[in-house]
Amino acid sequence: MHPNLKPHQPTADEWAELEAAGARQGVPLAVVRSLYSRIIRDPSGCWFVAPVRSDTIFVARRPDIRWGATRMSTYRLTYLIANGPAPLGMVICHRCDVPACVNPAHLFAGTQAENIQDAARKGRLWPQVVARPTHCHRGHEFTPENTVVVPTGRNCLACRRENGRARKARYYQRHRDRINTQKRLARAQRNEASTP
């Protein structure tokens, strides 16, 4: 991910269009606003959704968005707003093969069978992923030092570290004031203790 990229802010005209399109599909205004104020346009052409309540650019593999009793993948939502509902029995597939991408231009509706064939062609089916000899899904090499075996297969340690760092950063963002106050108090106490 590119930590320097800021979410793209639609112009007034773009907002009007998005809100009208969302309203046509029954998507609440607040959801349209929240989604489209957080979309980061990667130079690769893929779009990613930055998380709520965080300055850290961290993108889940398949982020969801929720309102009321509805829970939807963000890419299904951008597809819905751009194109309307997928035809019955169709699923939304990624032309770019990036599961977190929400760029409607990279999305198409296909049958589940086509989706599975497409996944097989790209080597994305689970047995193929497990059998994939060299790299994790983010492209880190599975060297002995970088691999840990877990009941469900194996984990990439580099990814684990990255996830841990992102989690820590999110925690800090959320509890920044409390953490800083605690640090200040501890420092004050230390200074007091060291003054003769």
Which residues of this protein are in contact with Zn ion, per CB under 5 A? 46, 96, 98, 101, 103, 106, 136, 138, 140, 156, 158-159
CB 101 → Zn ion: shortest distance, Å? 3
Distance CA 1, CA 58 (A): 7
Nearer to Zn ion by C-beta: 148 or 185? 148
CB 60 → Zn ion: shortest distance, Å? 15
CB 50 → Zn ion: shortest distance, Å? 16
Nearer to Zn ion by C-beta: 27 or 46? 46
Nearer to Zn ion by C-beta: 27 or 98? 98
Angle among Cα 166, 5, 173 to the nearest 5 degrees reads: 35
Residue type, 40: I
Distance CA 137, CA 135 (A): 7
Nearer to Zn ion by C-beta: 137 or 184? 137
Nearer to Zn ion by C-beta: 8 or 138? 138
Chain centroid to CA 180: how far? 28
CB atoms within 10 A of CB 119: 16
Q: Which residues of 173-195 are buried (b: 16+ CB within 10 A; e: fewer)?
A: eeeeeeeeeeeeeeeeeeeeeee
CB 99 → Zn ion: shortest distance, Å? 9
CB 79 → Zn ion: shortest distance, Å? 12
By CB atoms closer than 10 A (0-12, 13-18, 19+), residue 103 is buried
